[in-house]
Amino acid sequence: MREATSSLPASAVPQPGRLGYWPTAGARVLVVDDEPDITALVAYHLAKAGFRVSTAATGIDALTAVSEQHPSLIVLDRMLPGMTGDEVLATIRATSSSREIPVLMLTARREEPDRIRGLTLGADDYLTKPFSTLELVLRVGAILRRARSAATSSDTVSVGPLEIDRARHRVTVSGQAIDLTATEFKLLLTLALRRGRLQSRAQLLEDVWDAAPDVQTRTVDMHVQRLRAKLGPELELIETIRGFGYRLRAVNGSL
C-alpha cells in the first residue's frame, strides 16, 4: 500500500471553488487497482485535488487498508486478480465498521448487467474505463458531499419534496404530513440516508427488520408498495431495480 503525493499544474485538475467542486478537507481516498499506470494516474489527480490518497493492488491489501486506515471513500476496480472487486465490496458491506464507506467502482465492464451487479452489491457509483480523470475527481467529490450531508444533517433528512424529521418521527411531502408506521418510517429513512444507492431486499431485511439476509419473504415489497401509496404524487422517488431491490432517487439539493 502506498501513499500518493504529486504535483501538477494548477489547471490540470479541479481546484476548490472551480466547477462547483470542493473536496472534503483531508478526506482519505483508497484507490484499488492492479494496473500500476491507472493507479498512479488516479492517485495523482486525486492528490492534486486535495485528497489524501493511498493505494492497493490486490483485494487482500485493500481490505487491510480499509481496516487500518478507515478511508472516507474507496475507488475499486472490479477486475482484480485473486479476490475480485465484487468480493472485496461484498466483504466491505458485510462488515459493520466499513459498510457505510462510499465505493466508486472503476471497471472496463460496460454492459448493463455488470453495472447493476456492482450497484446491487452496494457501490455508490460506477465509472467505466477509459475514463476522464476530471470526471472521476468530480464524482468522488460529489459522493463525499452526499455522505457528509447525510452524516451532519442533524435531525432532518431532505430528498426533494420529501422531508424526514428523525427526532420527531415525522415525514412530510411538499409540506404535507403523512402517517407512517414505525417500520415504514425506518425503511424510508434507511433508503433516504442511502439515496442514490441500490439496496437489495436482503440488505433491507437485515437493516430494517433485523432479519437474516437469506430469509425468503415478500415483506420488503409489501412495505415499499405501502410507502409509495402514502407518498402520493412522489411515489416515483422509490425506484425498483427489477430482480435486485430498491433505491431512493437522489434529487438535486438533497440534504
Q: Give the integer Cα–Cα distance in Å for 70 and 111.
A: 31
The pLDDT of residue 154: 57
Q: Do 78 and 120 meet the contact criterion of CB atoms below 8 Å apart?
A: no
Whose cell is 472503476? That residue is 106
DSSP E strands in the chain: the ranges are: 2-4, 28-32, 52-56, 73-77, 103-107, 125-128, 156-159, 162-165, 170-173, 176-178, 199-200, 238-241, 245-248
The pLDDT of residue 116: 75
The pLDDT of residue 150: 61
The pLDDT of residue 36: 95
The pLDDT of residue 22: 44
- ∠ Cα 133 253 171 (to 5°): 135
Q: Give the integer Cα–Cα distance in Å for 100 and 242.
A: 24
DSSP E strands in 166-248: the ranges are: 170-173, 176-178, 199-200, 238-241, 245-248
Q: Do 231 and 180 meet the contact criterion of CB atoms below 8 Å apart?
A: no
**Low-confidence residues of the chain: pLDDT under 50:** 2-23
Q: What is the pLDDT of residues 59-113, one digit of tens each?
A: 999 999 999 999 999 999 998 999 999 999 999 988 878 888 899 998 887 776 7
3-state secondary structure of 114: helix
Q: 198 phi and psi, to 5 degrees?
A: -65, 130
The pLDDT of residue 126: 85
Number of CB atoms found within 10 A of residue 133's CB: 17
C-alpha cell of 209?
427488520
Domains of the chain: 2-151 (3.40.50.2300), 156-248 (1.10.10.10)
